[in-house]
Amino acid sequence: MDFKTHIQAVKKECLLALKKVDSVDSLKEVEQRFFSRKNGELSKAMKLLKDESGQAKQTLGQMANDIKKELEDAFANKHDELRREQMAAIGEREAIDVTQTLVTAQMPGHIHPLTQGLWELEDVARGMGFIVEDGPELDSDFYVFESLNIPAHHPARDSQDTFYIKDHPNWCMRSHVSNMQVRLMRKYSEKGSKPVRAAYPGRVFRNEAIDATHEHTFYQFEALMVDREIHIGHLVGVIKELLKGLFGREIEVRLRPSYFPFVEPGFELDMKVDFGKGEQWVEMLGCGLMHPRVLEEGGYDPHEWQGLAFGMGLNRLVMAKYGIEDIRHFHSGDMRFLEQF
């Protein structure tokens, strides 16, 4: 077969194969079959050119180049055509019907159970004359630990291990909202000591082994009072009033002596609750009378002033209120859980 007949046969065959192509993958296969430098049909045909000579060789060479160019264009067009089809299919598949009724209009959102509990507690606290304050989640080691009688290497740091900022050892995610104690007292004592009643709820963080009652990120509701005559009666009274407001009934509690470096004496308060597996005593909060050194840090003379403080685990209170058996439900994003509140 002479060169001319051969290359024209290859062209015909190639155009026929191209016609049958229906996907980018099969296009690649055909391209490989004809254009592969090593053993493509076209390259093989081109090699026959060397048997020709003189003027004929030049004319045939020109013709071969034209055919090659024509086939390349045909491939490019086919490729565009396939891409367009592909995009149209995606458009069809992922179309958004902007005229469709808004789904959210039929499924209004509602307030998260933790926020509901928080707002209820805030209401009761305001009713007792407490101002509600907000504080930083990322804070200095001073406010989270030092100012609360917890120097570096104090064992109390182990139970409140938290998340530190790389290259900034003096900053951490607060492990309790007690980081507000000295900050708040300083604010109130700045222009001469005055009595304080403040609540300061918020999110806290701990390097914690997670289980049904422990999260690494949870909420606390803390409050403090500073005045000239504060005693444990006030402490228990305020706590019981808050619990009564949240639960809508008198709550049975038990106070156990405990140790927090920033109070003296210190206690833990347990509540009898049913998380769905029968009643049991569960630790709900830490509390106590303010340590003289903390009062002093806050700008109050401990010989004249006294204070109380208590920090409750908001997640656990809300669990107790609704009989929620696992703390991990709160941040699960599971609608079956959330829709119950």
Alpha helices, H only, 36-171: 41-47, 54-93, 103-106, 113-127, 141-144, 156-159
Residue nearest ligand FA5, Cβ-based: 313
At 228, the amino acid letter reads R
Shortest distance (Å) from residue 330 CB to ligand FA5: 10
Element of type H or E holding 239: helix 232-247
CA–CA separation, 273 vs 284, rounded Å? 10
- Indicate if the alpha-carbon torsion angle 276, 277, 278, 283 is positive or negative: negative
Name which of 57 and 214 has its Cβ closer to ligand FA5: 214
Name which of 288 and 298 has its Cβ closer to ligand FA5: 288
CA–CA separation, 165 vs 257, rounded Å? 34
Name which of 202 and 266 has its Cβ closer to ligand FA5: 266
Query: Does 264 appear as a known binding residue?
Result: yes
Name which of 75 and 145 has its Cβ closer to ligand FA5: 145
CA–CA separation, 323 vs 13, rounded Å? 76
Return the number of other C-beta atoms located less than 10 Å from residue 247's C-beta: 15
Shortest distance (Å) from residue 311 CB to ligand FA5: 3
Shortest distance (Å) from residue 80 CB to ligand FA5: 59
Shortest distance (Å) from residue 161 CB to ligand FA5: 11
Tell me which residues touch ligand FA5 (CB under 6 A).
Answer: 176, 178, 206, 208, 214-215, 218, 220, 222, 260, 263, 266, 283-288, 309-311, 313, 315-316, 327
Binding annotation: 264
Binding annotation for Mg(2+): 264
